[in-house]
Structures are given as C-alpha cells and as structure tokens.
Amino acid sequence: MKKKPMTNKLNIPRHVAIIMDGNGRWAEARNLERVEGHAEGARAVRETVETAARNGIEYLTLYAFSAANWARPRREVEALMRLLVDFAKKERSELRSLGIRVNVIGQLEELPTGTRHAVEDLIRYTADGSKMTLTLALSYGGRQDIVEAARALAVRARAGLVLPEEIDESFFHREMTTRSLPDVDLLIRTGGETRVSDFLLYESAYAELVFLPIMWPEFVPQTLLDAVELYSRRERRFGRTSAQVVRGEHAAFDPLDPVREAPAP
Ligand code: FPP
C-alpha cells in the first residue's frame, strides 16, 4: 500500500528503532491465540518497513526476538520462528525492489537451523540494497552485546593486540554486533510500557523516546509518520544548552557513526 512521502520540512531521523510490544494482549483482547497477535504483528512489520524506506529513514531496527524471549512457551517460540521464515521467504523480492538491505544483530547462531538459514538467505539476497538498512534484532540482548564486546577486547588486550588507552567509545562500538549502525535517533515502543527492555542500550544513549499506548498490531503507516513528526519537533541538545543549539554550536562529541568514521586500522 502506497502512502505519500512526508514533506521535506520534517527532520527525518536517520535511525529509528522499534520495540514492537503488545501482540499477545492484542490477541487476548479478541479471544484469539497469542500467536495470532504475532501474525498480525508481522503484517504491521511489512507496512512499517515499506513506510520507513519510502520516507527516507536510512536505518530501521526492529526488536523481533529478545534473548529473554526464549523463556516463552515452546509453541509461541516456534510460531515466532515460523513467522520469521515466512517473512524472509515472502518479502524478499519486495525488500530488494525497495532497495532494502537486511542485517541482523544478536546471536543468530542460537536460532533453529531452518530460521537461521532463511534469515541468512535474506541477508545475501538483499545485500545490494542501498536505500535503507533493516536490522532484525534476533536473540538479542543489549547487555549481552556490551559484555561480549568487553570480553573480545579483553582477549585482544591480553594477546597484546590492543592497548587499553586505544579503547574509546567508537573503538568499543566496533566490537558490538551493532557495529555497522549509527546511534539511534528515535526509539519507539508500543504496548503502553515505558521501559527499554535491554534494547540497544549503548546505541540509544541520546535517542528520543516515544512510548505509545497502542498495541503493535495497531501500528499503521500513519503512526510512524506521527512519531517522526513528534521527533522532528524535539530539540536534541547532546549535552549543550538550548541557546548553543540555536546558535548552531557543535556538540563536544559525535554520536556513533560507523559510516562517517574511519575504519579501524
Ligand atoms: C512482543 O509482544 C513482541 C514479540 C516478542 C515478538 C515480535 C514479533 C513480531 C512483531 C512478528 C514477527 C517479526 C517479524 C520481523 C516478521 P508480546 O507478545 O510481548 O505482547 P504482550 O506484552 O501483549 O504479551
């Protein structure tokens, strides 16, 4: 379904991340199985991805399955894994034609083989996309990602391959599974809860947060456009005063930016 792109006057966030919460409650409120809520959630994913790409968002990151979600009933986990396979198979042509490159953060190797292969195929199939990067967070935990990076650096430091004084914020970020993503600009959560639930902890340091009372299956293209408009009206100060922002003074530091940053030697 085609929507008119937003006007150029809006400040479009470069990186939007979404915690897609409320599938289960949406289903339960309709006397449906929770898995039917996830299926409806997958429809909202398709529309949101297309809307983001058509409106100039360069990076969209979706919390599709957290490291903590393995604790859910087996039937629900299996249904989510099947939905991912369906998405990977049915949407790949559309994603490629929209110029969308698919990327994954988290522990892809933890996924069942069939799901992992379908997602890996999708990554390969869309590798040339240059309009938007769609990142699926799968078996992802923000703390876990930070700890893994710290451990990898400790191993390299012990081997004498890295000096402790070389480790700064961007150096550290290059060890994380989010290394190819810039800082999050806008973090949206549906479902009425006001927490970040271990999502992109390092990368959302200066993100604008938008919490919505609606359930994820109720998220439609206009909801994304409204959230972008809300973002557009906020003043991002990055530690500066409002007067400095108005004068156009630069922040004392740059947010993580793997695109503009020189690669590690
Ligand atoms: C949280 O809602 C949502 C999830 C744990 C899974 C999100 C999955 C999808 C939106 C569909 C599949 C994804 C893709 C990319 C095709 P919840 O179940 O915790 O809801 P509740 O809080 O109401 O119980």
Distance CA 172, CA 76 (A): 35
Distance CA 207, CA 264 (A): 25
Distance CA 123, CA 121 (A): 5
**Any catalytic annotation for residue 69?**
yes
Q: What are phi and psi of 61, to 5 degrees?
A: -120, 125
Q: Mean pLDDT, to the nearest integer, of 233-249?
A: 78
Of 21-25, 249-253, 255-259, which gets the smallest average pLDDT? 255-259
Active-site hit among 11, 69, 121, 254: 69
- Could you tell me the pTM of the whole model? 0.91
Over residues 105-118, the pLDDT tens digits come to: 999 999 999 999 99
What amino acid is encoded at 84 in this protein? L
Q: Find out whether the beta carbon of 217 lies less than 6 Å from any atom of ligand 1.
A: no
Q: What is the structure's pLDDT at 5?
A: 55
Query: How far, in whole angstroms, is CA 247 from its chain's centroid?
Result: 32
Residue 249 clears pLDDT 50, i.e. is over it: yes
Query: Which residue has 């940053």 as its token pair?
Result: 261
From the CB of residue 8, how many other CB atoms can be counted at a distance below 10 Å? 8
Distance CA 184, CA 173 (A): 13
- pLDDT-derived band at 176 (thresholds 50, 70, 90) equals very high
Over residues 63-78, the pLDDT tens digits come to: 999 999 999 999 999 9
Percent of the chain with pLDDT over 90: 84
Q: Starting at the edge strand that comes first in sequence, how are the strands of the sheet with 132-140 ordered?
A: 100-106, 132-140, 59-66, 15-19, 186-189, 208-211
Mutate to test the pocket of ligand 1, among 35, 36, 38 (most ligand atoms within 8 A of CB): 38
Residue 223 clears pLDDT 90, i.e. is over it: yes
- pLDDT-derived band at 248 (thresholds 50, 70, 90) equals confident
Q: Mind listing the domains of the chain with CATH numbers?
A: 12-247 (3.40.1180.10)
Q: Find out whether the beta carbon of 41 lies less than 6 Å from any atom of ligand 1.
A: yes
Among residues 145, 141, 142, 146, the alpha carbon closest in space to that of 69 is found at 141
Residue 8 clears pLDDT 80, i.e. is over it: no
The most confident of 4-18, 194-208, 243-257, by mean pLDDT: 194-208
Q: Find out whether the beta carbon of 221 lies less than 6 Å from any atom of ligand 1.
A: no
Q: Does an H or E element contain 18, and which?
A: strand 15-19
Q: How far is the CA of 15 from the centre of ligand 1 (A)?
A: 21
**Any catalytic annotation for residue 185?**
no
Over residues 130-158, the pLDDT tens digits come to: 999 999 999 999 999 999 999 999 999 99
Distance CA 101, CA 133 (A): 5
Residue 166 clears pLDDT 90, i.e. is over it: yes
- pLDDT-derived band at 241 (thresholds 50, 70, 90) equals confident
Residue 265 clears pLDDT 70, i.e. is over it: no
Nearest atom (ligand 1) to Cα of 87: 16
Q: Does an H or E element contain 189, and which?
A: strand 186-189
Per the model's pLDDT, the better-predicted residue between 263 and 194 turns out to be 194
What amino acid is encoded at 141 in this protein? G
Q: Find out whether the beta carbon of 20 lies less than 6 Å from any atom of ligand 1.
A: yes
Mutate to test the pocket of ligand 1, among 91, 123, 216 (most ligand atoms within 8 A of CB): 216
Distance CA 83, CA 142 (A): 23
